[in-house]
Amino acid sequence: MLDIHSHILPGLDDGASGIDESLEMLRSAHRAGVCAIVATPHSGSHRRSLRTPTIASALAQLVQAAAGDPEASAVGLYVGSEIMLDPGVRAALDAGDVPTLGGNTRFALVELPMLEVPHYAEDVLFELAAAGYVPVLAHPERNHELSQRFDIMLQMIRRGTLMQVEAGSIVGGYGSVAQECALEMLDRRMCHFIASDAHRPGAYDSLVPQALEAVTARMGEEVTTALFRDNPAAALAGEKPAFPNPISDDEWRGRDRDPRSIFEWLKGRRR
Ligand SMILES: [Fe+2]
């Protein structure tokens, strides 16, 4: 796995509380088969939000602290941030105030408030895409409004936003609404990345391995590898993989409920 969403940096946000916990998260990640992590503390366009130099400096400290530990140092670390979406995000990205995934790509991990979709959200996502960024929306299944509005998610995807579903949601860690939404997103090809959003070592000890198993059983090896490893690796290299079209609301309503037969049906349509 290459994890594009993790609050592993010590003492910056509600993630790792200190360097010891960051190192424990790295060791847990290594044991879970994670080869690299993009450190994504909460940031935003507000002037008091975390800024790129602070994040980069914390990352350098963690790399240094991990150097003597064979397990912790086996996991690659990259700079990033989880940016609260608002109308100021484009300017903050353009100025380099908040880092994209890996720092040198156009992939920007953005998040929404937990309850509703703000009135400006779709416009700001489109503005980012039009400016050459690739917005990656963190855990849409955990946004209460979005989890019920696949039509809005489909519109976002059509206009250039990619979706990052959380490992914990897939295995029910955030309740049945988020889980059902996450699973439907998988079935409808609306999920482009799966990431941990780890705040503690437990995410790597239990949620990531459980999600890996669940997605493999549901979607098969090929899709699982794409979502956990190949798509994240492409993003970190600054390349946008070719994603299959999502299944529209009309197509979904007329489907056979078995997701495997949906893919067979889609394959047939493309021939
Ligand atoms: Fe997060």
- If you measure from the C-alpha of residue 7 to the centroid of ligand 1, how many angstroms do you get, rounded to a whole number? 6
User: Where in the chain does DSSP place strands (E)?
Assistant: 2-6, 36-39, 42-43, 76-79, 82-84, 107-111, 134-138, 162-166, 193-195
Topology of the domain comprising 2-270? TIM Barrel (3.20.20)
- If you measure from the C-alpha of residue 257 to the centroid of ligand 1, how many angstroms do you get, rounded to a whole number? 32
Residue (of 86, 76, 70, 84) closest to 123 by Cα position: 86
At which residue do the structure tokens 């489109």 appear?
126
- If you measure from the C-alpha of residue 265 to the centroid of ligand 1, how many angstroms do you get, rounded to a whole number? 35
- Segments making up each domain of the chain, as ranges: 2-270
- If you measure from the C-alpha of residue 84 to the centroid of ligand 1, how many angstroms do you get, rounded to a whole number? 10
pLDDT in tens, the chain (271 residues): 999 999 999 999 999 999 999 999 999 999 999 999 999 999 999 989 999 999 999 999 999 999 999 999 999 999 999 999 999 999 999 999 999 999 999 999 999 999 999 999 999 999 999 999 999 999 999 999 999 999 999 999 999 999 999 999 999 999 999 999 999 999 999 999 999 999 999 999 999 999 999 999 999 999 999 999 999 999 999 998 888 899 999 999 887 555 555 666 555 555 4
- If you measure from the C-alpha of residue 111 to the centroid of ligand 1, how many angstroms do you get, rounded to a whole number? 8
Q: What are the backbone angles phi and psi of residue 88, rounded to the nearest 5°? A: -90, 0
- If you measure from the C-alpha of residue 142 to the centroid of ligand 1, how many angstroms do you get, rounded to a whole number? 11
